[in-house]
Amino acid sequence: MLVTRPTTGKKRNKIVKKRERMAKKRERIANMRERIAKKRERIANMRERIAKKKERMANMRERIAKKRERMANMRERIAKKRERMAKMRERMAKKRDKIAPFPAGKAIIVKIPPVNLIQFRSISVSMDFCKIICRRKRYIRVSVISQHSPKRYLMKVISLALSFINLTDMAFLKLCQYVVECMTGNTAFPTPVPALEAVTDAINDYSEKLIASAGKDLVMVAEKNQSRLFLESMMAKLGLYVMFTAMGDEAALKSSGFPVVKERTTRYITNTGNVTLTNGVTSGQMQSRVKSQKAARSYQHQITDSEPADNTVWDIRTVSTCKYVFSGLTPGKRYWVRVAVVGSADQIAYSPVASMYAQ
């Protein structure tokens, strides 16, 4: 018969503590396994992202390769185009050498072959040697090559205003009647195209339909608009005939009754006046203002915190309006302001200097 010896209190406590340590160790092992599982999951996600990134990089390399191929093709086309341009320049140089110079001191008439009637122009020059370079809407550029140095001239060509969109119905009717009256018996235009009888019939038809559409009937208004379109086309053809026949003669063009396109005139800057300084909405702001100029392209509002002298450096603010608000100024400090009005053809005008304390 076995006899078990009873455990003492100290041994019992050691066993309890040992069991607690084992339980904590098992808990730490379980937490470690969870962390390892999460880390493996993160590694798997990272590998997926790396795989996707490699795929995107491969696609990008393909696109870059295609783009390089397109750039190479473009370079080839540019090289071929440059080669064609070089050959064209050689042909032009050979053709230029074949042109014999005109006698010096004589006036010559240079006519440009018309692409259409609007582009037909005639110019008269008195030069040793001339050649047409290009055409514009209202100008002809002529390159005059003398024995000393080449020069270029822009020769003005007068043209007619053949757009009738901005005219009212009654104003357009009066203009057509006036043109027919001026063209009738005009020796400068012996055989008008279209004939004045056809234009007169179209004017009478348009006049009748204009009177009938006074009641705002939709059908009559539509017929009137159709008649006006037909008359506008006839007037445009007649205007083209006038420009073709007149060959740049201003007197003949004006005798036809058609309005002549107005020449562009250079606008000049007048007196800018004094600068008006006022306080801004908030502290540290100051507004400068001068009289508005029609010829102005821009305004330079200039400010300085020292009394102006010959070597003063101005803080320039370029705007498109005649007024400007300076901000970020020191309250209680005195500032000097002037405005420069900038126009075309290097025009610039300065206003008198004004001063004011910032609020």
pLDDT tens digit sequence for 319-333:
999 999 999 999 999
Instruction: Compare 134 and 11 and report the one with higher pLDDT.
Output: 11
Instruction: Compare 133 and 236 and report the one with higher pLDDT.
Output: 236
Per-residue pLDDT band at 215 (split at 50, 70, 90) = confident
Mean pLDDT for 275-298 is: 90
Cβ neighbour number for residue 150 with a 10 Å cutoff: 10
Whether pLDDT at 205 is above 80: yes
Question: For residue 94, which phi and psi values (nearest 5 degrees)?
Answer: -65, -40
Per-residue pLDDT band at 139 (split at 50, 70, 90) = very low
pLDDT digits (tens, 9 = 90+) for 145-195: 333 444 444 445 677 888 888 889 999 999 999 999 998 988 889 889 889
Of residues 329, 303, 305, the one with CA closest to residue 316: 303
pLDDT digits (tens, 9 = 90+) for 38-52: 999 999 999 999 999
Distance CA 198, CA 164 (A): 19
pTM (2 d.p.): 0.41
pLDDT digits (tens, 9 = 90+) for 265-280: 777 888 888 899 999 8
Distance CA 121, CA 161 (A): 16
pLDDT digits (tens, 9 = 90+) for 76-133: 999 999 999 989 888 888 877 665 444 333 333 333 333 333 333 333 333 333 333 3
Distance CA 207, CA 197 (A): 15
Average pLDDT, the chain: 80
Check residue 6 and give its pLDDT: 55
Distance CA 198, CA 173 (A): 15
